[in-house]
Amino acid sequence: MSSSSSAVDLISEFAADVRAGLGHAGQKTLPSKYLYDDIGSMLFEVICLLPEYGVTRADERILRGHADEIAERMGFPAHVVELGAGTGKKTRWILGPLCRRQPTIYYPIEISPAALEICRQELASLESLTFKGFEGTYLKGMEKVGAQRPKGESLAVLFLGSTLGNFDGGEAEWFLSQVQRSMMPGDALLLGTDLVKPLAQLLPAYNDSLGITAAFNLNVLARMNRHLGANFDLSRFRHDARYNSKASRIEMHLVSEVDQSVSISHCDLVVSFRKGETIRTESCRKFKLDEALQMAKRTGFRCKAQWIDEEWPFAVSLFVAV
């Protein structure tokens, strides 16, 4: 498939998801993956540097401090898939010991082509690494990797950060089951999960003092303007982060400041908003320590090892497909 036809497919999928999320009564929603276009991905990299946002630093402390042990426990796989690679800075800690052991093929899967290019540049100096990036959604990328993977060669899937927490309800478990179906027995999954912590520590991470997270959230409206012919006035919406104690998750919303209607021409849709009505753009679930373990067990994995960061409660777990 050519890059142009792939881009058309992504726009069509975007339009379908917008119709499904905004074209009904009740809580309006958008899948969080649409926050991460080229602009959104760059803004998220800035968020990761903010003092309020401890997730990325916790993840990096674990990977940096235990890289050799993680590589060894994964069995030094020849093929490494990463779901949502970002810039590749964190991944470098894991790929380093793998590449020192043997030639390694790395398959980052990203919906942002700019992020893929930055990732490629970040990892270019690693000897014995072959870079094969895929632009698209995680599961479609996994299918493509599966079609290329030589029979009998080991594979590891990296799902770092806290992205699993972005799935609503049972979607996280369903997603893990789909990932497992693309793996072979003995393949490894390295999974990051953000853990439950005090609200005084948690809420500022999603509502920083510089307003970077607000810009990141509002960019999804600008993205609809750019790609779907929408006429959102960003000044008429504001960012809001709130905690849903029942679901144990932070929710990011875009709040309409006025009664208004927005046209989205590529979706053949006019969306009406009441003052105070919101679009929920992201859910960030916070796990108890055993919840991810039980979820993985139910979806065909067994836990081989787990590392915990105490400064910002966060877990990196190594699972093996059975």
Does the pLDDT of residue 111 top 90, yes or no? no
Architecture of 55-197+287-321 per CATH?
3-Layer(aba) Sandwich (3.40)
Whole-number Cα distances in Å, 16 to 9, 19, 23, 89, 260: 11, 5, 10, 33, 22
Residue 244 phi, psi (nearest 5): -100, 100
Burial class (CB in 10 A: 0-12, 13-18, 19+), 60: middle
pLDDT in tens, 93-104: 999 999 999 999
Q: Binning pLDDT at 50, 70 and 90, where does residue 3 land? A: low
Q: What is the mean pLDDT of residues 114-119?
A: 92
pLDDT in tens, 20-57: 999 998 999 999 999 999 999 999 999 999 999 999 99
Higher pLDDT, 132 or 151: 132
Cα(168)–Cα(172) distance, integer angstroms: 7
Cα(19)–Cα(35) distance, integer angstroms: 16
Q: What is the mean pLDDT of residues 273-282?
A: 98
Report the residue count for the chain: 322
Q: What is the mean pLDDT of residues 309-316?
A: 96
Share of the chain above pLDDT 90, in %: 88
Closest CA to 153 of 81, 68, 97, 67: 81
Cα(298)–Cα(149) distance, integer angstroms: 26
**Position of tokens 């497919």?**
9
pLDDT of residue 29: 97
In DSSP terms, 302 is beta-bridged to 320
Token pair in block for residue 283: 């859910």
For residue 30, the one-letter residue type is L
pLDDT in tens, 149-161: 888 899 999 999 9
Cα(186)–Cα(125) distance, integer angstroms: 30
pLDDT of residue 133: 95
Helix or strand (DSSP H, E) at 214: helix 212-228
Residue/partner pairs of 197-206 with CB below 8 Å, 24 or more apart: 197/286, 197/312, 197/313, 199/243, 201/54, 201/312, 202/243, 202/250, 202/286, 203/241, 203/243, 203/250, 204/52, 205/52, 205/53, 205/54, 205/55, 205/250, 206/241, 206/250, 206/252, 206/284
CA angle 9, 113, 131 (to 5 degrees): 115
Does the pLDDT of residue 2 top 80, yes or no? no
Token pair in block for residue 54: 């401890």
Domain span(s) for CATH 3.40.50.150 in the chain: 55-197+287-321
In DSSP terms, 280 is beta-bridged to 29, 253
Q: Binning pLDDT at 50, 70 and 90, where does residue 169 land? A: confident
Does the pLDDT of residue 71 top 50, yes or no? yes
Does the pLDDT of residue 286 top 90, yes or no? yes
pLDDT of residue 77: 95
Q: Binning pLDDT at 50, 70 and 90, where does residue 1 land? A: very low
Contact 254, 217 (CB under 8 A): yes
Does the pLDDT of residue 7 top 70, yes or no? no
